[in-house]
Amino acid sequence: MKKLLESENAVSAVVGMIIVLALTITSISVILLYAMPTLDDMQDMANAQGVEQAFTVFDSRTSKVALGESPSQTTSFSISDGSMEVNGGNDSYNDSRIVVICADTNATWFDDFETNMYTWEAWAPHLGKSGMSEFNASMGSITYTKDERIIGYEGGGIWSKYPTGNAIMISPPEFHYNGETVTLPIMTITGTETSSGTTDVDVTISSSNMPVVLYPDPAADPNRINPVEVDKVLIYIKSEFYDAWADYAETLVSTNIALDHANKTAIVELDTLPDMGTQTLDSNFRIVQLNESNAEPITDFAYYFEAISHDASNFNAVETYVTASSGTKYLEYEIKKNVIEHIKYTDSSVGTDEETWVSISGDSNSSFPINIDPSKKKEANSTFDLLSNTYLLEYNDHDGTEFSWNVTGSTTMPPDIVINDGDIQSLNNITQHYFKLMAEDGSVRCTWSQKKNTKLDVEGSSYTLTYDGGGAVITYLHVTRNDLTATLN
């Protein structure tokens, strides 16, 4: 019996060892099954970080070549089953280029262009027209690709695009703006080579260091001069990394950025600042933009009208209109003699309703004085100050269709108040409110006109305008094309 029991113990020990061994094998299998992808991902991440670091070194060395400090520079990359490609041919240039448009916003074609302004090639139908200037340069790129991860050099910057489709900037491009001057040396890569596998790849950059000046260049186009005289400058950046380009541009001083996702394009919009102060009475002018953080960004806005033939009686027949428009928004001041007959505001994106303000009948604060020289009784003039805090107007809408006095939105602007029929506001409050609201849609175009009786001396009349633009204004523009030849070894 004892031997039998001993035998049973031996069997139990063997079975136990088999169970332990089976559990061990199972555990190892589970670890290998679930941990290997993680280990692979970690290895891929480490490889990508190594490539990013190599590109950062490459960027620094390429800058030396572009600046003429060295005729050539070589950087080694460990591509680890990925591929390295030089995209410097015509096919690549179609997807990696910069186009600069200089536009006169008073040109007859501009309104049509403005409707599609934030779309790649929106300028094409207007090339060659007066007030349109276009120049461009290809960029090309040098990219590392593994699976769906892309890391690349383009336009003097290093970029990384993830499988999700989102791109980020690793190192900034050669694009600088200080609130007054734009400096844009466009790096153009030439060459079409590819290398893949596990070996290291040497990328050599060389240049003749002969930059081509694209702006200023009055010989090519009289409009390409400094200071910039056109009204608007648009920089279109077509790139695989376009969203990262846009993110970078937004970090610059007060830039306006738009995205054309369908064409993988970032658009940087800049305006020149019109002359401020007192100007001759042009039929139209524009307000580039207003500082959103300033509660009252317009500091001076007045019209000085002088009667024709210096005859004071001519003011009796005066009927003038001051209008302003931007996008879907429209504002009108109707002035009869020395009184604002009405102010009307509409926004077609909201509907057909109007917000209407009228002068208070019989109120001495609802008219502008007509100045008559006592020694020369026929000489007369009047100044219409659209920022007057004493000139009062009454809201005139029995239906209560006020729609723009609210928190900041695409169709509203503070103060967040309810305007009812009969409410009173100063002319300054009304003007500041509507112009700030219209400026959200871009530059505001202003016009002045006489109706029927031309009783004002246009040459002797003037307007005064000063305002806080808040940035995104360009005074000087410097653009060059720097050719770089890339080879793989």
Do 173 and 70 have their domain in common?
yes
373 versus 66: which is more confidently predicted? 66
- Which pair of structure tokens corresponds to residue 149? 């991860």
Do 225 and 298 have their domain in common?
no
Residue 1 lies in a domain: no
Q: How far apart are CA 192 and CA 201, in angstroms?
A: 15
List, for residues 427-465, the tens digit of each pLDDT value: 999 999 999 999 988 789 899 988 766 678 888 889 999
Residue 365 lies in a domain: yes
List, for residues 190-207, the tens digit of each pLDDT value: 999 999 887 789 999 999
Do 289 and 259 have their domain in common?
no
Does pLDDT of 15 surpass 70? no
Amino acid code (one letter) for 219: A
Residue 114 lies in a domain: yes
Report the pLDDT value the prediction gives residue 314, as an integer from 0 to 100: 57
Structural domain for 70, as ranges: 46-273+475-488
Residue 117 lies in a domain: yes
Do 342 and 224 have their domain in common?
no
Do 121 and 215 have their domain in common?
yes
Pairing of strands 392-395, 462-467: unpaired
Residue 57 lies in a domain: yes
Report the pLDDT value the prediction gives residue 205, as an integer from 0 to 100: 96
- Which pair of structure tokens corresponds to residue 180? 């007054």
Burial class (CB in 10 A: 0-12, 13-18, 19+), 389: exposed
Do 336 and 230 have their domain in common?
no
Do 268 and 307 have their domain in common?
no
Do 267 and 304 have their domain in common?
no
Write the DSSP symbol of residue 309: G
In 41-131, which ranges are E strands?
Answer: 72-78, 82-88, 97-103
Report the pLDDT value the prediction gives residue 5, as an integer from 0 to 100: 45
- Cα–Cα nearest to 325, from 357, 342, 300, 349: 349
Domain count, the chain: 2
Report the pLDDT value the prediction gives residue 399, as an integer from 0 to 100: 72
Do 296 and 438 have their domain in common?
yes
Q: Taking all residues of the chain, what is their mean pLDDT, rounded to a whole number?
A: 87
Residue 89 lies in a domain: yes
Q: Considering only 85-89, 90-94, 380-384, which range has the smallest mean pLDDT?
A: 380-384
Do 254 and 317 have their domain in common?
no
Do 267 and 284 have their domain in common?
no
Dihedral (Cα; 478, 87, 60, 201), 10-degree rounding: -170
Residue 379 lies in a domain: yes
Residue 21 lies in a domain: no
- Cα–Cα nearest to 379, from 467, 312, 459, 281: 312
Rounded average pLDDT over 219-230: 92
Do 253 and 285 have their domain in common?
no
